[in-house]
Structure 1
Amino acid sequence: MVRMSAEERRESVISAAIAEFAQRGYYGTSTEVIAKRVGVSQPYLFRLFPGKKAIFAAASLRCIEDVRRVFAEAADGLEGEEALHAMAQAYVSLIQVEPERLRMQMQTYIAVAAAEAEGDHEFGEAVRAGWMKLWETVHLPLGADVNETTTFLAYGMLVNTLAAMGFPPGHQVWQGMYPSARVTGRLEK
């Protein structure tokens, strides 16, 4: 049996945390279930992360970074409308292949709102900083046009909402999606 390094184990905890928090949220997920999923003890889990909040933050920021990376790779060498279509298609593919990424994003937004309501601004600041990196990644290929960036991200949030609610491909709600949604419910070039 090959032993994992602490960094490899940390990565496996983040992956497990994304899956668990995506399904049950911050308050509904125990560190025990994450440790069990990874195959480590809770004390070992807390050697890797100082607490549940840190695990959730790592999972949340990883999801934001993953989406940012998907956008960057899709738009590489493209500009304007071509970049827009490529990023949109890449994102739709991501949330279809890895739906826990979408659910984790939604859980992150809920957790930020809850933390802010309790006066804890640190988590929200970290998420907003990650989101601004994502915004910049989208903004530049779209010609550094604030309106195009806002429209793209607004449609992305609508995609998130409709997908999270379970509207199936082919449903009429997808027909008016930008840049182009066919009856399939998939954004296409």
Structure 2
Amino acid sequence: MVRMSAEERRESVIRAAMIEFAHGGYYGTSTEAIAKRVGVSQPYLFRLFPGKRAIFLAAAEYCMELARHSFEEASEGLEGEEALHAMAGAYVKVIAEHPERLLMQMQTYVAVAAAEEAGDHELGEAVRAGWMRLWDTVHAPLGADVDGTTTFMAYGMLVNCLVAMGFPPEHRVWEGLYPSARVTGRLEK
């Protein structure tokens, strides 16, 4: 049996936490559930992370980094409309293949809002920094056009909300969404 390094175990905790938090949110997810999913004890989790909040933040940052990497990879060597279509296609694929990433994004925004309301700005600052890295990753291939980047990100958030609410791909709410009239797991031109 091959033993995992502490760093490999940490990464497995982050992936498991993302799945658990995606479905239960920050307040509805226990560290016990995360430990169980990974196959470690709760005390071991706390050797890797100082607490639940640190685990959540690591999972949120990991989720945003996965989205950023998807856009970066899809748009490599492309500009303008070609980059837009490639990034949109990559995002549709992520949603179809990894819905927990979308749900984790949504849970992250809710957790930030709750923390900000309570006067805790640390989580929000970290998430906003991740969002800006995501923004910049999209912005450059779209020709550094603020309107184009804003539109792309706005459509992405609309897609997030519609998927999170469970609208099926054939539902009429998807009509008119650019670049595809329906979210089907692939781009339709």
Question: Normalising by the residue count of structure 1, what TM-score does the alignment of the two structures yield?
Answer: 0.97
SS of equivalent residue, structure 1 residue 40:
coil
Cα offset for 1:127? 0.3
Structure 1 residue runs without a partner (length 5+): none
Aligned residues: 189
Residue in 2 that maps onto 1:42: 42
Cα offset for 1:171? 1.2
SS of equivalent residue, structure 1 residue 188:
coil
2:74 matches 1:74: yes
CA distance in 2 between partners of 1:183 and 1:130 (Å):
26
Structure 2 residue runs without a partner (length 5+): none
Cα offset for 1:185? 7.6
Distance 1:166 1:182, change over 3 A: closer
Deviations 1:99-153 (A, max 9, x none): 0001000000000000000000011000000100000000000000000000000
Q: How does 1:1-189 map to 2 (within 5 A)?
A: 1-182=1-182, 184=184, 187-189=187-189
CA distance in 2 between partners of 1:185 and 1:96 (Å):
5
CA distance in 1 between partners of 2:51 and 2:183 (Å):
45
Kept after mapping to 2: 8 A contact 1:171/1:183: no
Deviations 1:11-69 (A, max 9, x none): 00001101100010000110011111111111110000000000000000100000000
CA distance in 1 between partners of 2:75 and 2:95 (Å):
17
Distance 1:76 1:48, change over 3 A: same
Kept after mapping to 2: 8 A contact 1:75/1:86: yes
Kept after mapping to 1: 8 A contact 2:92/2:183: no
